[in-house]
A = this chain, B = another copy of it.
């Protein structure tokens, strides 16, 4: 007989405003919490779900972090994103009921399990939940578009900087430091996400260190001059007058 995990409560959850409950009334949040199940934590490199399997649940990151990826017919892998606390995984499966990507834990991590059938029922009852689902789906589309711009038109340096800036923002939103954080992913994962080689990632980090923009100690990143970093990647922020847009 396994240990039974406690029923989760979104109302107490520190990150509920960054997650599915955002915009819901307190009694609606409680209804949502009733359908959510806790899962035992996943260990590093453990698979949460894999491509082509039936999607019975969506998952929200509760703690830790995950990596989503797809592979082509030759087995070439592309990391399509990293998931931090509050973020929903599995949205790509709403089309056919099967996951179209795979997700692994980057560190010891836990998730909230959202049974899809019951979530759908609840969306019919609670319009605000429905809207929030659509907002979340829409957000994923927008950030995927940004990633396409990055993969299609940016240099290695720009990609590296945008990656650091993205993490900085997301950690900030979670209440952590925007200038000091530990990467939960390997260089190889960053490289794969950014469409570069891991050697190029190393070189870019080294260059940025030498330029005094960041300090790197293995997985630990400290952004020394966040404004400088922003000004390299988004020149308009540094010279607003020259950029009417």
**Which residues of chain A have a CB within 8 Å of any CB of chain B?**
70-78, 80, 91-95, 100-101, 120, 123-124, 127, 130-131, 133-135, 137-142, 144-149, 151-153, 192-195, 234-237, 243, 245
**Nearest chain B residue, comparing its CB with the CB of A100:** B142
Given known A-B contacts A78-B153, A145-B100, A145-B144, A95 and B192 have beta carbons under 8 A apart = no
A140: B residues at CB distance < 8 A: 141
Given known A-B contacts A134-B133, A134-B134, A236-B73, A91 and B152 have beta carbons under 8 A apart = no
How far apart sit A130 and B101, CA to CA, in the bound complex (Å)?
Answer: 23
Given known A-B contacts A91-B141, A140-B141, A142-B100, A124 and B130 have beta carbons under 8 A apart = yes
Count of chain copies: 2
Give, as a whole number of angstroms, the nearest-CB distance from A193 to chain B: 8
A152: B residues at CB distance < 8 A: 78, 151, 192-195
**Nearest chain B residue, comparing its CB with the CB of A123:** B130
How far apart sit A114 and B58, CA to CA, in the bound complex (Å)?
Answer: 29
Q: What are 11 residue pairs bridging A and B, where the CB atoms are less than 8 Å apart in the complex? A: A72-B149, A73-B237, A74-B235, A74-B236, A80-B145, A91-B137, A92-B141, A92-B145, A93-B138, A147-B148, A152-B194
